[in-house]
Structure 1
Amino acid sequence: MPESPRDEIIFSPASPTPKEALDRKRELLASVLPSALPSVLGLEPSAAAGIVMGSLPRIAKHRAAMGAQFGEDGLAIVDDLLVVAHAAVQADVELTASDSASDMAEPFAELAQDHKLLLTDCDSLANRKLLDPARVDLGRPVQGYRTVINSTLVLVALLRESWATLRSKTPLTVEDIDRAERRATGLLHRLNAREQGSTRLPAADMRSRALGLLVKTYGEARRMLTYVRWWEGDADSIAPSLWSGRRRSSSGRGTDTPPAGEDTQPATPVVPVVPIPTPGPIGDGPFTE
């Protein structure tokens, strides 16, 4: 059971959804310098958030003890864990959605069918001397996205130029031509956006920042928990390291050490740094021997 009613805030029905959580943190995350964020190499947001959220009921049992040692600043960090975990999940979802939005396979397949339809009829019209074969050939290449787009637009322009003569001599309709042009133009815009990173790069940056905030906030919570549970030595079982599936500390004293080369210490803290309180008499804490 939680030590106080405030501990129930962690899993309150009023807790923010992942989207609401990320919206709360967007301004903070956007303002943080990359150098102030801990490394997140080797971490998947969904897995890291799962470890944090799975630890919350156990952490909540020690919330009062952490508050007694670290005050309101310490409690604010604990109470923010669910928010930053949800924010990391949402940032990962938005990156996945961005990647899906930039996927060219389906729209390209549709445009390729439109191009094939136009080219087949243009070849037929050229065989009947109704179109210049040399101009039709300009719309024949199909190697690559941009080439298919350009070839389709060439055929669209050629058909429209002579449509008054051709309309009664081809099964093509104005709707067919309009659809091909619309798809070619739409795919061109998406291709430009993808190549310039206008959709994916901001989403990837936000995910990295949100995950960095989660690593920092959870790390601060584990530091406080390690202090109040020092003599029991069970901090790792209450709040496991985010890298616990890959590498564990030999001390068992609640360290959150990532794999070699993955420094998690930021140049500037993202969340308030809670000072370690001055130890009391012998037996009151881990630093009194």
Structure 2
Amino acid sequence: MTKSSTPVTKKKPAPRKPAAPPQAAAAYDRALPEIEALSPEQLIAIKLDIPRAVSQVLGVLPGLLALRPAIAEALHKHDIALLDRLETYALAAWYAHLLWLSTGAAESALKPLLAEAAPLRENLLGDAEALARRGLLDADAVAEIRAGQGHIDTANDLVALSALFSGSWPEISGKTAATEEEVKRAGEIGPQLLAALGVREHGKGPGPTEAADKRARAFALLAHAYDQTRRAVAYLRWNEGDAETIAPSIYKSRGGRATGASDDGPEPDDAEEAAAPTGPDAGTAPAPSAGAAPAAVPPGPGPQAQPGAAPPAG
């Protein structure tokens, strides 16, 4: 394999906050035919924090798109459309997650969530700006968060801040006033706030069972597309050795212990790692293992979940 002329990537991309609900809803609508077409055997158990995974994928997307021409040239059999639609799949998974959260949200929760969210955002954002000035966090990512205004941006900002802090926790632990508990809470309250806003603005949404099914399907679509893209990057960047920096696993917590996980249980074996190309002689990105038993469809929300609403449209 001819060695890529692209310099080695040393700096890991910063997570990015998800799009506002209107853009995420549009992505969900575009992906819905593919979401509904998945068979139960194609679904996988959700053993990670979806908002943080989405933020991570959106953060690495510019670097992946920069490699698109090289991937298309080197791997003729690779489905490049998976990379082209990766942003759509990520936002669709984000919106499906919000729909699922909305089944357990109530408008009465909005006021206390807002009362907690605003100071938490400001405290974490101030800490992030101090770390960015020291070169410990991505200054552009922090500035993008600061630019947000309104309740919806507050919610999305908390998701982005949680992903940003947790992704760099080994480097910043002990150098910031922010605590792991605050970072975890930001990852929890952001999606909850969006769900509560949806209850207020739109009334009832899909029932818990339907929302859980769509969430599982949307996540499976994203996970497959990102997994296949990582395999292509692993082959293409074998000599440079920076594939894990360009496209890190969404299953690996890069910030110490996991924070803000929305699903209980241990992380699954990182099957995508085991199936990655083992060297430049791999030829094309390998197909998924055919021997693995399909994971069960994740169950719907627990007995406390009540019919809720779609996230706010603006």
TM-score normalised over the length of structure 2: 0.44
User: Max radius of gyration: which structure?
Assistant: 1
Identify the structure with bigger relative contact order (alpha carbons < 8 Å, sequence gap 6+).
Answer: 2
**Greater helix share, structure number:** 1
